[in-house]
Amino acid sequence: MSVENASTLMVTWVKSSYSDTGAQCVELAVVDADRGAVRDSKNPSGPALLFPRESLRMFVAAAASGEFGDVRHPGAP
């Protein structure tokens, strides 16, 4: 599910503390008790993808545990 204009969501967007000032960042927000949203930080009025909060929690946990490689250092094994 998605919304066309992420700025229409009445939420507080947060960016990872690992994000740099470059243009490769996403932001997350809690929409309600059941859903979270993800948007491209360089396009705050662009689309946002909505996911079940449990799915987002599982994705963040997998990324933090290194399941997708070293996401803090792109290109690292």
Work out the pLDDT band at 71, boundaries 50, 70, 90.
low
> What's the rounded mean pLDDT across residues 2-13?
91
> From start to end of 1-77, where are the E strands?
2-3, 14-15, 26-30, 35-40, 48-52
The per-residue pLDDT for range 26-55, each reduced to its tens digit, is: 899 999 999 999 999 888 899 999 999 999
- pLDDT tens for 56-70 read 999 989 988 889 887
pLDDT of residue 13: 93
Is the C-alpha dihedral spanning 34, 39, 17, 58 positive or negative? positive
Residue that is written with structure tokens 């996401």 in the block: 71
